[in-house]
């Protein structure tokens, strides 16, 4: 259960138990599910995070030791971190009022707090509208949601226009503004394709139209806590690349080892054409599947199959004969 393989099946079996010698009663004791759920939280998720925390702590300690920072005090480390942050930070150009009253009015609107609040509410409402879709829904609901999506597309286009006029060429110097502009352009492309192409042409139309879902990411820009988490994720990407490289190296080594050990195992259930160790590519994909925890025990049981050419022929075999002798016993009348 700690590997999260088939733990739900074990939970349902535990909930369905009755008395010794009696048959199962489905969900006879539903409260017993808390035992299994609590174990998964503690024995799988918590322990896994604990291992990750220990690895990260050891990594940071070794990094400081190799960087000769372990002799510094905490105050000195904070001073070095602040100095590095100052070196890496890029000053933003100060936005001053324009002599042109027209551009100054647009700048005033773009910098107004209520303008950001209005745009954030529009993003949330647009996200709720995108949720209003289900199979065989009435045509009236479809027309209403399409109309609302066009309305929100116009609002976001108006926002980009205001900021473009207010900031001029400085508008494209900020990454979030480029993201907003790309969303607006993608929305217009989806609208053009939707209006000029039949929806039943294929999935490509739906994919382009679903580009407007990415508007949700604009909440990251306006929510400080989400922006902090997103920035942290971007900063940790190089470290994740290193961990991914180490994982690929382990999969590479185990794929070669698996070919040497299990290449001669017959391909039959649970092993099949996509999960076996007869060549490097298939073995690599099989180990990727096993690393996700998806039915890894089936692969393990499949590789333990032994080879034998000795068969015992039993006249009119019974189930006990098959059970005692295993797969090496066949009936005389079978091929």
Indicate the average pLDDT of the chain. Answer: 77
Residue 200 has what pLDDT? Answer: 44
Tokens of 272: 């099949």
Q: What pLDDT, on a 0 to 100 scale, did the predictor assign at position 283?
A: 92
| Cβ count within 10 A of residue 335 | 3
- Residue-wise pLDDT for 273-288, tens only, equals 888 899 999 999 999 9
Question: Is 88 a residue whose pLDDT tops 80?
Answer: no
- Over residues 320-335, the pLDDT tens digits come to 555 555 444 444 544 4
Band of pLDDT at residue 153, cut at 50, 70 and 90: confident
More confident residue, 218 or 27: 27
Q: How many CB atoms lie within 10 A of CB 136?
A: 4
- 284-317 b/e (C-beta count within 10 Å ≥ 16 → b): bebbeebeeeeebebbeebbeeeeeeeeeeeeeb
Whether 301 has a pLDDT exceeding 90, the answer reads no
Distance CA 278, CA 226 (A): 46
Taking CA atoms, 308 is separated from 292, 302, 322, 325, 326, in Å, by 33, 15, 16, 13, 12
Structural domains for the chain:
7-88 (no CATH), 101-234 (1.20.120.350), 248-303 (no CATH)
Q: Structure tokens of 240?
A: 């994740």
Distance of CA 106 to the CA centre of its chain: 40
Q: H/E element holding 261?
A: helix 237-262
Cβ atoms of 184 and 157 closer than 8 Å: yes
Burial environment of residue 146 by CB neighbours within 10 A (0 to 12, 13 to 18, 19 or more): middle
**Residues 40, 332 contacting (CB under 8 angstroms):** no
Q: Is the pLDDT of residue 55 over 90?
A: no
Closest CA to 127 of 199, 194, 212: 212
Percentage of residues in the chain having pLDDT higher than 70: 78
């Amino acid at each position: 259960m700690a590997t999260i393989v088939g733990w739900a099946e074990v939970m349902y079996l535990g909930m369905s138990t009755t008395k010794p010698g009696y048959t199962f009663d489905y969900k006879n004791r539903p409260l017993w599910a808390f035992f299994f759920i609590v174990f998964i939280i503690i024995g799988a998720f918590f322990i896994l995070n604990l291992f990750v925390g220990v690895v990260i702590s050891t990594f940071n300690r070794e990094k400081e030791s190799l960087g000769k920072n372990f002799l510094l005090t905490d105050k000195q480390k904070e001073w070095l971190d602040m100095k590095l942050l100052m070196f890496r930070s890029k000053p933003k150009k100060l936005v001053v009022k324009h002599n042109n009253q027209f551009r100054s009015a647009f700048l005033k609107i773009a910098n107004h707090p209520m303008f950001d609040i209005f745009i954030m509410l529009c993003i949330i409402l647009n996200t709720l509208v995108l949720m209003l879709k289900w199979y065989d829904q009435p045509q009236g609901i479809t027309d209403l949601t399409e109309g609302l999506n066009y309305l929100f597309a116009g609002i976001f286009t108006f926002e980009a226009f205001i900021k473009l006029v207010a900031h001029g060429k400085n508008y494209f110097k900020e990454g979030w503004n480029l993201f907003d502009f790309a969303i607006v352009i993608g929305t217009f492309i989806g609208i053009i394709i939707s209006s000029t192409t039949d929806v039943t042409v294929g999935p490509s139309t739906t994919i382009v139209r679903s580009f407007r879902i990415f508007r949700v990411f604009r909440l990251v820009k306006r929510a400080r806590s989400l922006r902090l988490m997103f920035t942290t994720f971007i900063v940790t990407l190089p470290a994740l690349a290193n961990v991914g490289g180490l994982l690929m190296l382990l999969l590479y080594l185990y794929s070669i080892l698996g070919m040497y050990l299990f290449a001669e195992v017959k391909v039959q259930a649970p092993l099949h054409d996509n999960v076996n160790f007869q060549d490097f590519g298939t073995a690599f994909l099989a180990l990727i599947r096993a690393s996700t925890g998806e039915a890894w025990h089936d692969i393990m049981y499949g590789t333990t199959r032994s080879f034998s050419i000795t068969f015992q022929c039993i006249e009119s075999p019974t189930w006990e004969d098959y059970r005692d002798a295993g797969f090496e016993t066949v009936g005389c009348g079978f091929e």
